[in-house]
Amino acid sequence: MTGTVFDVFRIDKLGRGVFSKLIFTFALLVGMSVYVLPIGDTDFSAFMAFAEHAMENMEVFMTMEPSDIPLTTGNIIYLMHIMGADMIILFCSFIYTGVYIRQYRLDHAGNLPGDSGFLIPPKFLIPSSVAKLVLRMVIVFCFSAVIFMPVTFVVLYLFVIFIIILPYVGMYSACYLSGDSSFFGSFIEMVKVTKGYYLVNARNMLLIVSLYFLGNWMTSALVRVLPSVAYVTGPLISVFVALSFGRYVGMVYCRMREVPGGFRKVTTLRNEAGDKH
C-alpha cells in the first residue's frame, strides 16, 4: 500500500491491467443494461400517483394493504433487474479484492518487504490457487445473493448500524478469498485482523461509500437534463466506486497482515524488545 490515497482509485493498476479492464467493462455493461436493455416494465406512473396520494392523505397511508400498491408484474421484474445488477457490481468488488491479494502475494513471492516496508509473515505469502479462488468466489456469490436483501434493508433503514459493521464486513471477503481462513472462520478472523485499524478503515470506507451516494445524487440531477448521458455516468460511477472499494480492502488487508495491530503496536513491541537486549 503506497503513501498516496489516490492509489486506491487506480483500479487499472493490477498485474498487467488486463483483468481490471475486463471486470470494469463487464460490470459497466451490467449496470448500463438497466437503462439500455431493461427487463420488465419501467412505467411507474401509477405507483408514483398512488404514493403522492398516500402521502397527502395519511389515512390512506396507514390503512393500505400490500395488495393496494399498484405495482405490475413487469414493475417487480424490473426492480429485480436493478437489484440483480447492483448485486453483480458488488460481487465484482469482491472479485477484485481476491485477485488483488493473490497478485500482491505473487509479486512478493521472494519474501521481499511489503509495501508497508515490513516483511510479510511466511504463512501470508502463499497465493491462493486459481481453482480455489474461483470456487470461493462462487460460494461468496451464493452467500451474497442470500443476504443481499437483508443488507439492503440495513443500509436503507439502519444506516448507523451499517456504519458500525462496515469495517468488519468489508474485511470478510479478503479473509475468505485470500485463502487464509475457512468460510466460517473468516467471520472470526475479520474481527481479529481489524484490531488496531477499525477507525482508519471506518473513515476511509465511508469516504469511498460517500462517493457512491454523491454519484447517485449527481446522476439523479443529470437524468432530468441529459438522460442519455446519465445512463452512462450513473453505472460508470457505481462501478468505479465499487472496484475502488474492492481495491482498498485488498490493499489494507495486505498491510494489516504485514503490520498486525498497526504501526504503533509494532513499534512499541520492537522498542520493548530492544530494551530487553
The model's pLDDT over 227-245, given as tens digits with 9 standing for 90+, comes to: 888 888 889 999 999 999 9
Does the pLDDT at position 248 exceed 90? yes
Number of structural domains the chain divides into = 1
Cβ burial, residue 56 (10 Å; 0-12/13-18/19+): exposed
Q: Residue 79: name the closest of 22, 134, 24, 38 by CA.
A: 38
Per-residue pLDDT at 239: 94
The confidence score (pLDDT) of residue 46 equals 84
> For residue 17, is pLDDT > 90?
no
What is the Cα–Cα distance from 180 to 172, expressed in whole angstroms?
Answer: 11
Give mean pLDDT, residues 177-192: 88
Q: For residues 42 and 28, what is the distance between their CA atoms, to the nearest angstrom?
A: 20
Q: What is the domain extent for residue 75?
A: 5-276
Between helices 130-157 and 159-177, what is the axis angle to 10°?
180
pTM equals 0.81
